[in-house]
A and B are shown apart, each in its own frame.
Chain A
């Protein structure tokens, strides 16, 4: 693979750097009146959600279990089909896309999952390389035929999160924190414009959770990527996000700086949610 001296010289260079100043004025993501109802469900999980996200912005989404946080993220990249409303990524209306166009759009949105969603039998490096599976020929990827530059880039990214020594380890031999770092690398290796981060620390102990959140924020900033991050833990949201969107029963009840949320407001957000939604 690589000599350690070579590894030391390699640095992950994100494919997309900071957006040009003119572009900063334009929101990267625009969500309007988004509604989602699961088949057979009596009511909407998301009930007219709307917000915008600027390039490079790091926004936390908070709310009780069942408030619609995960559904919101999955509706943005259409893993869950919205029943109404609009999602625009740059100048593309995501809800109108089908087939190849939708897949190309998804490649612009990296996703980090609560349960990591890695391929357990694969090596760490292969899992990260799969971040670009959409832009690779499936058969080439199946036989692990990747350009050397791509492998070097993935290795440098793993080195950046402290997993440089684990490239050839199977993922199922790693700890929870290490797995989540692999998940972060896979999402960033996609070279996305937007990171959708779904409860990245729920399966981790508090100390590791703090490290993971710091790495997500730092890497997103370094790469010039905006992030929408579901966090159940209010303290982590306060520590890492400049802006907080709070959901309750599928409706945004707060969108702004964390400082504007007092104890009473937080109590309202986390008050007993409609149990039928859980």
Chain B
């Protein structure tokens, strides 16, 4: 390499190094500005754990486990599980055709249909399940139905986006073969697209169940059914021992749900030999 080239390479490396340093400096400045804007006093962190420990020991301990064993509360737990199941199934069943419509490489309606499906999925994802729950409660009143609808929309937004990404990364060859054989759009989807994304879809479905179940435990906070309503009532009445018991139960249920999901994913990976979405 000539000395001129070496000099150019060195200058380039120096420029890149300076750029990295400036970027880091900008990030630090941005963080400092945000803290100033929000008036966050970092010194308060020093007492956080001490105060948290005192609060838990004096007000949340011991948890009132007798409360969460009451039949009415247990009924709300079952209601929560059913809400999550229904919303996940409905959401996934709706998300699959919507994802097919929205995928740029496989949409049977590449014009308006594709755009409408993309807008629907993005819209469902853009607004949080809790906001949807409030909206549906305003329209339909309190109860399980607004909760299920809110969770279903959340499921469509979440799973729909992942389904679209999976469909958009398929191999086009089987799709081409089905089209060449004179298959209609539905057959092209069933035999050209679905076999390639089936394993990924199941993995996404299991993961979606985890997310929906977590949300289902709290949509009741706004009166949309399930155990969340009990959480809000006990919190409002400052019955901290009951709040502690409910939070521990939610954590236990989420852990059990995730253990089951993990086993389902592992079994699927063993059967298909493919890596299944695991986050």
The prevalent SS among residues of B at the interface is helix
- Which of the listed residues A107, A111, A117 has the most CB atoms from chain B within 10 Å of its own CB? A117
Name which of A85-93, A133-141, A220-228, A244-252 contacts chain B: A133-141
Confirm or deny: B195 has a beta carbon within 8 angstroms of a beta carbon on chain A: yes
Query: Hey, which chain A residues are within 8 Å of B190, CB to CB?
Result: 138, 141-142
Q: Is there contact, CB below 8 Å, between A141 and B187?
A: yes
| Given A121-B198, A122-B195, A130-B191: A77 and B183 interface contact (C-beta under 8 Å) | no
Among A104, A113, A135, the residue within 8 A (CB) of B177 is A113
Task: Find chain A residues with CB under 8 A from B196 CB.
Answer: 121
B178: nearest chain-A partner, CB-CB: A133
Q: Does A131 contact B (CB under 8 A)?
A: yes
> Is A41 in the interface zone, CB < 8 Å from B?
no
CA separation between A105 and B176, bound complex, in Å? 15
Q: Among A115, A122, A130, which residue has its beta carbon within 8 angstroms of that of B181? A: A130
Assess the B176–A133 pair: CB atoms within 8 A.
Answer: no
Whether A111 and B183, one on each chain, are in contact in the complex, defined by CB atoms closer than 8 angstroms, is no
Which B residue sits closest to A189, measured CB to CB? B181
Find chain A residues with CB under 8 A from B182 CB.
103-107, 133-135, 190
A110–B179 Cα distance when bound, in Å, is 11
Pick the residue among A113, A136, A141, A142 that contacts B176 (CB under 8 A): A113
* Residue count of chain B within 8 Å CB distance of chain A: 19
Q: How large is the interface on A (under 10, 10 to 19, 20 to 34, 35 or more residues)?
A: 20 to 34
Closest chain A residue, CB of each to CB of B272: A121
Given known pairs A115-B173, A141-B187, A142-B190, the reply for A121 and B180 (CB within 8 Å) is no
Note all chain B residues with C-beta closer than 8 A to A115: 173
Contacts of A104 in B (CB 8 A): 182
In the complex with contacts A117-B174, A121-B198, A133-B180 CB distance below 8 A: no
Task: Point out the residue from B180, B186, B192, B198 that lies within 8 Å of A109, measured CB to CB.
Answer: B180
A212 within 8 A of B: no
B252–chain A nearest beta-carbon distance, Å: 38
Separation of A110 and B176 alpha carbons in the complex (Å): 12
- A96 close to B (CB within 8 Å): no
The answer to whether A119 and B181 touch (CB under 8 A), given A133-B191, A138-B190, is no
B177 contacts A138, C-beta separation under 8 Å: no
| Further contacts, 14 of them, CB under 8 A, given A117-B173, A133-B182 | A77-B180, A79-B176, A103-B183, A106-B181, A110-B181, A111-B177, A113-B176, A117-B176, A122-B191, A134-B183, A135-B182, A139-B186, A186-B177, A186-B181
